[in-house]
């Protein structure tokens, strides 16, 4: 039967075009997601600054936790820190005494804001770790001197205004390097000034080691010294991970994103491919009936259809896997542009994602064909032709039971989703819930279609010849209508869920931030403590709150946190305290949101053991529990506690000055931008554009499936449309009939998709925001509906016009 399948494909190219397109794009999605996942697992970063240093010693950049397992075994898990772990400066002396070490160079790294950009600041002594050499001028010696890199555009003698955590200062350029780094601007200060600006007395960010002999021997020789300081020696590309700590965090995000996106893509692909093959087999029921009538066994029919699916999938999967590599690079570029992935994190390209995509595509196609062929292959030969002539039979009991099981699964997932209050846990469950509900709709599609046709058929029959024909066609073609409704409802459900999850979270955070905002002015975005002090000394200013946004680890769990100055906090922020008091928030205190308190199982007076951004362990006492966690983070800590332990200690300022005009505030802090509450909330919110780009691919794939299915359905009706033309129906009436059929399918699909989306969103909103009412912008929702309707109408009208260009007699003859 495989040979017969090959001949069938050769003579029915148009009939398999829809399946080919669906499988092609499915392979592209799976391959691209596999590349992201593999990059997260195996991706590396080549060093830039440390390229000339054989060994770099750095602190432990992970929070580690040992978990005891059954049988006395234990397993250590690790999660990356939010910032960079520093080392004691004295470690350099100890490393210099290790056998084989010839030279040791320490360095400090800190952010410097120059104009509208950000540079990396260092002491000149660490230039020995880098490829930098002076092209002009000399090294900095005084506190007000600086060396700039080659792409700064400055020359010796120029003035440079720089802002660091230590404040704003003007420096004189004494030297220009001959080199520059691809992904970072570099400034070199004198050693003493760099230590002051870094704000880490007695600490260094890294230590470079030069040795004689084999580089690999250095870590072994220095193991005792490194273990005492909880430090690690890095060689090769591992040096890049120390130079670019954001790359490690991006890898973790890529693992999560690639896995979730790949899994969702595969589920959507299976659902779409099953629908496409089901429609293709429906269109061939007369052919299959003839095969059964001439003694083809059910097994032979299934083998033929499975062979066809494998052949189509092999070609489509191969082409899609190759195209998926290009899609993976496009995704990587978009994530880099959005700041979700550092430019220096290389995309891993290997055969594994392409092979996995090809294998997944072939398995999905084979399973889809076998499932879709079950009913057609089981028809008894005597009934085969009659069954093909009367396609409006009821769905099988197996399909009905599977549909009801999916309904039960959707109910269970909806209940689970409504109890999840962590976005990392709720996001994959949200998409899975929408998919399970859509699968239920697909399985129960014929029943839903018949009910919808019975309801909407009455007004259709009253709308002229086109409406009467549409109602009659819909009544006899409920299975075809069901195959069209499935991808349309999937499009509306997935688009609505993906879009409105973000708007629901964003609106809730903005609402809480606005409700808690008492400050008259918000200044930012990168201001030092000196600016806050200048404002406090300004007459008319009642309170100034410094705010830093960061994250901490409690165990291995990551929590969003803000650091604030406690003095005058009640004048600038209202966190909605429900227990305790923020007046007790000092360097040893922490305020916790209600959601985080429930997760951690703490109350006022309890202690939380957490790791700050650089891994420093602290155990503050819970002094308050507040309600507005979405707007202000899960944890609120003292600014004095957090600022020394983050990479960038420059933040925003909340100012209470009801009697002062904006001009007076700007005059007190020249160069600062005055933000309103909405801008401040947007700056603090997570980047939803990354999710839009990632999940937008699934939406695009679903949209292609909609066009594909409708085009297949319309093209297959050439004989039917030709007969209508022969009995006197005008071209205009035929087109009107098709438009009304499509609009009815759109109405049903929009209703189903909207219902699925609303049920899912309500459960998500209930768990994440405490309200079962999601935020759905009406114009955005109408745009989703409009896009679905336009796609459906275009996918129907264009094939129909091509079919109607043929003479009726030729069209009927071609279909014989």
State which H helix or E strand residue 254 sits in.
Answer: helix 245-283
SS3 category, 605? coil
pLDDT of 733 = 75
User: Which pair of tokens denotes residue 340?
Assistant: 């979700």
Q: Residue 48 pLDDT > 90, yes or no?
A: no
Q: Residue 110 pLDDT > 90, yes or no?
A: yes
How far apart CA 779 and CA 562 sit, in angstroms, is: 34
Tell me what the mean pLDDT of segment 474-482 comes to: 64
pLDDT of 589 = 92
pLDDT tens per residue across span 681-735: 554 444 566 777 777 777 887 787 777 777 777 766 666 667 767 767 777 777 7
How far apart CA 693 and CA 689 sit, in angstroms, is: 6
pLDDT of 807 = 63
pLDDT of 226 = 87
How far apart CA 515 and CA 518 sit, in angstroms, is: 8
pLDDT of 10 = 54
- Considering only 133-137, 299-303, 611-615, which range has the smallest mean pLDDT? 299-303
pLDDT of 666 = 84
Q: Residue 46 pLDDT > 90, yes or no?
A: no
Residue 251: closest CA among 341, 337, 327: 341
Please give the residue that has the higher pLDDT: either 509 or 287.
509
Chain center to CA of 624? 33
Q: Residue 534 pLDDT > 80, yes or no?
A: yes
Q: Residue 380 pLDDT > 80, yes or no?
A: no
How far are the Cα atoms of 21, 265, 390, 457, 733 from residue 454, in angstroms, in the given order? 33, 34, 19, 5, 22
pLDDT of 156 = 93
pLDDT of 475 = 61
Tell me what the mean pLDDT of segment 492-507 comes to: 88
Tell me what the mean pLDDT of segment 744-773 comes to: 89
Length of the chain: 816
Q: Are strands 589-593 and 621-626 parallel, antiparallel or unpaired?
A: parallel
Q: Are strands 167-177 and 145-148 parallel, antiparallel or unpaired?
A: parallel
How far apart CA 565 and CA 546 sit, in angstroms, is: 6
Q: Are strands 117-123 and 673-675 parallel, antiparallel or unpaired?
A: unpaired
Q: For residues 789 and 740, is the Cβ–Cβ distance under 8 A? A: no
Calculate Rg over the CA atoms of the chain.
32
Q: For residues 176 and 156, is the Cβ–Cβ distance under 8 A? A: yes
Q: For residues 704 and 25, is the Cβ–Cβ distance under 8 A? A: yes
pLDDT of 699 = 80
pLDDT of 314 = 87
pLDDT of 224 = 85
Q: Domain coordinates of the chain in residue numbers?
A: 1-45+244-391, 52-243, 405-511+686-816, 521-659
Contacts of 596 (CB under 8 A, 6+ apart): 559, 629, 634, 635
Contacts of 219 (CB under 8 A, 6+ apart): 55, 226, 233, 235
| Residue-wise DSSP of 74-134 | EEEEEEE-SS---EETTHHHHHHTSTTEEEEEEE--EEEEETTEEEEEEEGGGGGGSS--E
pLDDT tens per residue across span 86-99: 999 999 888 888 88
Please give the residue that has the higher pLDDT: either 155 or 294.
155
How far apart CA 341 and CA 81 sit, in angstroms, is: 16
pLDDT of 693 = 77
pLDDT of 685 = 47
Please give the residue that has the higher pLDDT: either 392 or 619.
619
How far apart CA 327 and CA 316 sit, in angstroms, is: 16
Q: Are strands 134-137 and 145-148 parallel, antiparallel or unpaired?
A: unpaired
User: Which pair of tokens denotes residue 665?
Assistant: 């505030």
Please give the residue that has the higher pLDDT: either 724 or 357.
357
pLDDT tens per residue across span 787-807: 888 888 888 887 777 767 766
**Number of neighbouring beta carbons within 10 Å of residue 271:** 21
Q: Residue 812 pLDDT > 60, yes or no?
A: no
SS3 category, 171? strand
pLDDT tens per residue across span 537-578: 899 999 999 999 999 999 889 899 999 999 999 999 999 999
pLDDT of 670 = 81
Q: For residues 475 and 457, is the Cβ–Cβ distance under 8 A? A: yes
Residue 618: pLDDT band with limits 50, 70, 90: very high
Q: What is the dihedral of CA 768, 773, 778, 784, to 10 degrees?
A: 60
pLDDT of 72 = 67
Contacts of 757 (CB under 8 A, 6+ apart): 434, 492, 493, 496, 497, 500
Please give the residue that has the higher pLDDT: either 368 or 225.
225
Residue 26: closest CA among 430, 278, 312: 312
Q: Residue 283 pLDDT > 80, yes or no?
A: no
Contacts of 212 (CB under 8 A, 6+ apart): 100, 102
pLDDT of 748 = 85
pLDDT of 382 = 55
pLDDT of 4 = 53
As a whole number, the mean pLDDT across the chain is: 82
pLDDT of 686 = 46
Tell me what the mean pLDDT of segment 749-768 comes to: 92
Tell me what the mean pLDDT of segment 492-514 comes to: 88
Tell me what the mean pLDDT of segment 465-473 comes to: 60
How far apart CA 593 and CA 637 sit, in angstroms, is: 12
pLDDT of 479 = 65
Please give the residue that has the higher pLDDT: either 304 or 785.
785
From first CA to last CA, the distance across the chain in angstroms is: 23
How far are the Cα atoms of 84, 89, 231 from residue 95, in angstroms, in the given order? 20, 11, 11
Residue 677: pLDDT band with limits 50, 70, 90: low
pLDDT tens per residue across span 627-650: 999 889 899 999 999 999 999 999
Tell me what the mean pLDDT of segment 599-622 comes to: 92
Q: Are strands 186-189 and 117-123 parallel, antiparallel or unpaired?
A: parallel
Q: Are strands 635-638 and 557-564 parallel, antiparallel or unpaired?
A: parallel
pLDDT of 684 = 46
- Considering only 72-76, 128-132, 479-483, 664-668, which range has the smallest mean pLDDT? 479-483
Strongest mean pLDDT among 449-458, 504-513, 754-763 = 754-763
**Number of neighbouring beta carbons within 10 Å of residue 370:** 16
User: Which pair of tokens denotes residue 328?
Assistant: 């993976």
Contacts of 242 (CB under 8 A, 6+ apart): 50, 56, 58, 61, 206, 234
pLDDT tens per residue across span 168-190: 899 999 999 998 888 788 999 99
Strongest mean pLDDT among 19-23, 46-50, 302-306, 641-645 = 641-645
User: Which pair of tokens denotes residue 106?
Assistant: 């320490």
Tell me what the mean pLDDT of segment 93-107 comes to: 88
Q: Residue 132 pLDDT > 60, yes or no?
A: yes
- Considering only 305-314, 343-352, 599-608, which range has the smallest mean pLDDT? 305-314
SS3 category, 205? coil
Q: For residues 521 and 538, is the Cβ–Cβ distance under 8 A? A: no
User: CB pairs under 8 A, 24+ apart, for 462-469?
Assistant: 463/740, 464/736, 465/729, 465/733, 465/736, 465/737, 466/733, 466/734, 466/735, 466/736, 466/737, 466/739, 466/740, 467/736, 467/737, 467/740, 469/724, 469/729, 469/733, 469/734, 469/737
pLDDT of 593 = 93
Q: Residue 158 pLDDT > 90, yes or no?
A: yes
pLDDT of 375 = 62
In the chain, pLDDT over 70 holds for what percent of residues?
84
Q: Residue 400 pLDDT > 50, yes or no?
A: yes
How far apart CA 253 and CA 250 sit, in angstroms, is: 5
Tell me what the mean pLDDT of segment 290-319 comes to: 78
Tell me 152's DSSP state.
Answer: G
How far apart CA 445 and CA 483 sit, in angstroms, is: 7
Tell me what the mean pLDDT of segment 46-61 comes to: 87
């Amino acid at each position: 039967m495989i040979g017969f399948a090959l001949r069938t494909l050769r003579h029915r190219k148009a009939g398999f075009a829809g399946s080919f397109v669906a499988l092609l794009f499915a392979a592209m999605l799976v391959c691209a997601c596999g590349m992201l996942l593999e990059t997260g697992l195996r991706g590396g970063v080549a060093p830039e600054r440390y390229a000339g240093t054989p060994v770099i010693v750095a602190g432990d950049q992970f929070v580690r936790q040992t978990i005891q397992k059954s049988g006395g075994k234990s397993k250590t898990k690790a999660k990356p820190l939010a910032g960079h772990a520093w080392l004691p400066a004295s470690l350099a002396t100890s490393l210099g005494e290790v056998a084989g070490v010839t030279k040791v160079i320490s360095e400090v790294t800190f952010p410097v804001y120059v104009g509208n950009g950000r540079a990396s600041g260092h002491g000149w002594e660490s230039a020995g770790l880098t490829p930098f050499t002076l092209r002009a001028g000399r090294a900095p010696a005084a506190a007000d001197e600086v060396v700039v890199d080659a792409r700064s555009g400055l020359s010796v003698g120029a003035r440079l205004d720089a802002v660091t955590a230590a404040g704003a200062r003007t420096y004189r350029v004494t030297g220009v390097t001959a080199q520059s780094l691809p992904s970072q601007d570099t400034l070199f200060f004198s050693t003493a000034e760099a230590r002051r600006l870094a704000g880490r007395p007695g600490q260094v960010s890294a230590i470079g080691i030069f040795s004689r002999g084999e580089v690999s021997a250095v870590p072994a020789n220095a193991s005792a010294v490194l273990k005492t300081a909880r430090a690690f020696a890095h060689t090769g590309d591992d040096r890049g991970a120390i130079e670019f700590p954001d790359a490690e965090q991006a890898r973790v995000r890529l693992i999560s994103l690639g896995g979730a996106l790949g899994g969702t893509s595969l589920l959507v692909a299976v659902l779409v491919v099953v629908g496409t093959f089901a429609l293709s087999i429906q269109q061939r029921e007369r052919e299959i009936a003839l095969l059964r009538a001439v003694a083809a066994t059910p097994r032979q029919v299934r083998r033929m259809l499975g062979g066809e699916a494998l052949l189509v999938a092999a070609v489509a999967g191969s082409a899609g896997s190759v195209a998926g590599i290009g899609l993976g690079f496009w995704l990587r570029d978009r994530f880099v542009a959005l700041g979700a992935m550092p430019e220096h994190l290389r995309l891993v390209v290997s055969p594994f994602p392409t092979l996995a995509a090809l294998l997944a595509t072939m398995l999905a196609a084979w399973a889809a064909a076998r499932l879709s062929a079950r009913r057609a292959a089981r028809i008894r030969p005597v009934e085969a032709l009659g069954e093909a002539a009367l396609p409006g039979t009821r769905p099988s009991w197996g399909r009905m039971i599977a549909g009801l099981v999916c309904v039960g699964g959707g109910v269970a997932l909806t209940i689970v989703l409504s109890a999840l209050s962590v976005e990392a846990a709720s996001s994959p469950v949200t998409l899975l819930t929408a998919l399970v509900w859509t699968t239920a709709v697909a399985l129960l599609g014929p029943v839903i279609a018949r009910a919808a046709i019975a309801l909407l058929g009455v007004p259709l029959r009253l709308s002229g010849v086109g409406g009467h024909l549409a109602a009659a066609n819909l009544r006899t073609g409920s299975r075809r209508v069901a195959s069209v409704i499935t991808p349309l409802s999937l499009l509306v459900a997935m688009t609505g869920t993906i879009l409105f999850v973000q708007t629901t979270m964003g609106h809730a955070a903005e609402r809480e931030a606005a409700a808690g905002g008492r400050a008259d002015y918000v200044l930012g975005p990168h201001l030092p403590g000196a600016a806050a002090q200048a404002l406090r000394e300004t007459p008319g200013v009642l309170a100034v709150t410094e705010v830093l946004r960061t994250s901490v680890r409690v165990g291995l769990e990551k929590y969003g946190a803000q650091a604030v100055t406690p003095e005058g906090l009640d004048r600038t922020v209202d966190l909605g305290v429900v227990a305790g008091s923020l007046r007790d928030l000092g360097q040893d205190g922490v305020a916790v949101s209600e959601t985080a308190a429930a997760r951690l199982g703490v109350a006022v007076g309890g202690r939380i053991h957490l790791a700050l951004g650089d891994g420093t362990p602290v155990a503050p006492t819970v002094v308050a529990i507040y309600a507005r966690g979405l707007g202000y983070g899960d944890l609120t800590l003292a600014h004095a506690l957090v600022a020394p332990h983050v990479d960038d200690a420059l933040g925003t300022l909340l100012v209470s000055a009801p009697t002062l005009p904006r001009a007076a505030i700007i005059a007190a802090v020249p160069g600062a931008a005055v933000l309103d509450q909405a801008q401040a909330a947007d700056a603090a919110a997570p980047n939803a554009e990354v999710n839009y780009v990632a999940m937008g691919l699934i939406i695009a794939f679903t949209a292609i499936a909609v066009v594909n299915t409708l085009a297949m359905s319309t093209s297959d009706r050439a004989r039917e449309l030709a007969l209508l033309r022969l009995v006197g129906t005008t071209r205009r009436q035929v087109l009107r009939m098709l438009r009304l059929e499509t609009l009815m399918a759109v109405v049903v699909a929009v209703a189903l998709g909207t219902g699925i989306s609303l049920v899912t969103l309500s459960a998500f909103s209930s768990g994440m925001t405490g309200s079962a009412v999601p935020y759905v912008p009406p114009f955005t929702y109408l745009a989703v509906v409009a896009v679905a309707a336009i796609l459906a109408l275009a996918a129907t009208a264009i094939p129909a016009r091509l079919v109607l260009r043929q003479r009726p007699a030729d069209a009927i003859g071609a279909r014989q």
